[in-house]
Amino acid sequence: MTQPLAGLRVLDLGTRIAAPFCAGLLGEMGADVIKIEQPGTGDFMREIGPFVAPEGGGDPYSLFWAVEGRGRRSVALDLRKPDGQDVFRRLAATADVVVENFRPGTLEKWNVAPADLDPRLVVVRISMFGQDGPNRFRGGLDRVGIGFGGLMHLTGYPDRPPLRVGVTISDYLTGVFAAHAAVAALYRRDAGQDPSHRGKGCVIDAALYGSVLRILEWTLAAYDRLGVVREREGNRLANSAPLDNYPTADGKHICIVAGSDANFARLCAAMEREDLVTDPRFAKLADRAARGDEINGLVADWTRTLDAVEIERRCVEHDVPVATAYSAREIFADAHIAARGDLVSIDDPVIGPIRQQAPYPRFAGEAASVPNGAPRLGEHTDAVLHEMLDLSAEEIAALRASGAVA
């Protein structure tokens, strides 16, 4: 079955996470993604652990790369060399989207900035602080994004230092937002209602911290109108209870969300504590929120007496929103995840079949696609240059001799 973005071509100039993830999302919707990598080193994700030893020997192989490098072809092309820059400009003329995440000014220095490329291109430029503003030349990674964007201040417990989220969230969020913007830009170019943009590309300016700002809910509006500085609340909320990640008898944690009056009544039934529903201390949401420590403590006393699976069974039976805090072990064992095909086996060219997360989201009623495994560095250089630029073997050999390709 043909995928929605089949026929589009994306050049992925990125390294590490945000830009490659943006390109990868487009690839998982059917776009042909060509990864442009520096000869000899390639994407930095190839060097991020954990590592696994390939069967039959060889250098340690990055499982990070096995996941985030999938679904694309690799061309080893040196953009620091004039011949490499010329090849890239020619490749870009056959593409629809270019995605990069170098510091502002880098593509200009290499003579492959948007102004040097085909004006039909949609160029996604991801950076720490954006393409303009006083901080534009500062570098940074995910933690800078969540710090500057305001998320780190909200993460953790009020009596402890701020925490990072468990994954590199600003990179992934920025990749998602940028992919969404790229599809919108392509629609405007090819089918939009504004004739002044028909046939024209654009530059998408995506700052890592900006994606974090966008998900801050009411945080900034409350400061603007009320002078309220939102603070860390841990797993609880000041305006809702009971709600927490509660300890279980088998050493796990289970999230129960029962702030509303209806869900609270259902939880009380699951706990066999219907008396709490009529207790005046907990009659309404505002009452329970005011006595959050007390009501959350009562729920925790109950969860400590049972294993997580039994707590979840009782809550589901009474229609209480609940989830065990899954580790990878539980994800692999869960029947629902298996039934929906949320894990797929990717045939990696270095380490063979490896199960990892499936493309997301899916199109209902359509067969899910399985991406190709992450390519070896420069694995497709010759094929792509011949296919897209009609270069002969002799011409490619000459470029290789000059160091422009590998």
Nearest CA among 74, 24, 14, 76 for reference residue 45: 14
Q: For residues 200 and 211, give the distance between their C-alpha atoms in angstroms, rounded to a whole number.
A: 25
**Which residue's structure tokens are 């993460």?**
155
Sheet holding 253-257, edge to edge: 243-247, 253-257, 322-324
φ, ψ of residue 355 to 5 degrees: the values are -80, 135
Residue 331, token pair as written in the block: 């994800």
Helical axes 292-303 vs 261-271, angle rounded to 10°: 40
Q: Quickly list DSSP for 361-399.
A: S--TTSPPP-PPPPPPTTTTHHHHHHHHH---HHHHHHH
Strands (E), 183-267: 202-207, 243-247, 253-257
Strands (E), 66-213: 73-76, 97-100, 122-127, 202-207
Q: Which of 78, 96, 171, 205 does the annotation list as catalytic?
A: 171
Strands (E), 201-311: 202-207, 243-247, 253-257
Q: For residues 294 and 107, give the distance between their C-alpha atoms in angstroms, rounded to a whole number.
A: 58
Residue 51, token pair as written in the block: 């590592």
CB atoms within 10 A of CB 357: 12
Helical axes 261-271 vs 308-317, angle rounded to 10°: 130
Active site includes 86?
no
Sign of the Cα torsion 335, 339, 341, 346 reads positive
- Could you list the active site residues? 171
